[in-house]
Amino acid sequence: MEKLIDIGKYIEIGINALEENFSDLWRAIDNIISWTVDSINDVFLVIPFYVIIILVTLGAYYAKAGKKSLKKEGIKDGASLAFFVVLGLILVWAMGYWEEAVQTTTLVIVSTFIALIFGIPLGIWAARSNTANAVIRPILDLMQTMPAFVYLIPAIFFFSVGNTPGVIATVIFSLPPAVRLTSLGIRNVPSDVIEAGYAFGATEKQILFKIQLPLAKTTILAGINQVILLALSMVVIASMVGAKGLGSIVYQGIQQNNIAKGFEAGLGIVVLAIILDRITQSIGKK
């Protein structure tokens, strides 16, 4: 059947125009992201693995036990998570994928950071403006329903291959929960509390930072948790455009039909996902 509307052609024309007219901007973004990812990787890889395991274990224990860390009930709460972190990270190191696990963690950290920089302000805007919400919601629907592989096409076009297109594609894929849950959390703040704030003479800025954001903290942290897990779920797809880490090992396992290699790297991703999920959940419950 002959096409009546060639949308793809217009999208291609638009992308070509963006590439030609903003090439310096794409190059600058590529340099910043590549430098950031490489620098964090270098720092993490200089530190001995056992030091990182100890620090992550202590962080997980404190996130779970909180102010009761030195008390009996705190030890009971935090010990199980700390035990899992030690066993999980030692397993990753023993399988020989420590460097790849560090690269994957760096990719997730950078992608999550960028997603939150844009996601939380957009969520606040969507919560405080019905017009903004009406514009942003369909865009988020598009971002969440579009197949993840499609994000790689413009990412490759603008940034070639490497960590940068992987980070960009991961940011686009993982950003919607940050916007949605930030907006939801703020909109669910009881109106009588906000009215009381206005009655006592609070400004819009004080209403936002001293009432809405603190009361919406749990929902916003749930959004951050979702961003991290979605970013981690993209590591295999991101590896197809040259992103390093456990995802690239899984991809090699698929290409080489090497079940053991793919399974071990996949197991490493699962360990990282559980650790990050439990830590962020524990922080969100406080």
Q: Which domain holds residue 136?
A: 7-46+96-285
User: Could you tell me the pTM of the whole model?
Assistant: 0.87
155 part of a folded domain = yes
Provide the 10 A C-beta neighbour count for residue 188: 12
Looking up residue 40, the CATH number of its domain turns out to be 1.10.3720.10
100 part of a folded domain = yes
91 part of a folded domain = no
142 torsion bin: left (phi>0), alpha (psi -120 to 50), beta (else): alpha
Q: Where would I find the H helices in 146-258?
A: 148-159, 163-187, 191-199, 204-207, 213-215, 217-233, 235-239, 246-255
53 part of a folded domain = no
267 part of a folded domain = yes
84 part of a folded domain = no
**280 within 8 A of 221, measured Cβ to Cβ:** yes
175: tokens are 């950003």
Q: What is the pLDDT along the chain (286 residues), one digit of tens a residue?
A: 667 778 888 888 888 888 888 888 888 998 999 999 999 999 999 999 999 999 999 999 888 887 776 777 777 777 888 999 999 999 999 999 999 999 999 999 999 999 999 999 999 999 989 999 999 999 999 888 888 777 777 778 788 888 888 898 889 889 999 999 999 999 999 988 988 888 888 888 899 999 999 999 999 999 999 999 999 888 888 888 888 889 889 988 888 888 888 899 999 999 999 998 888 888 877 6
Quick check: helix, strand or coil at residue 20? helix
Number of domains in the chain: 1
111 part of a folded domain = yes
148 part of a folded domain = yes
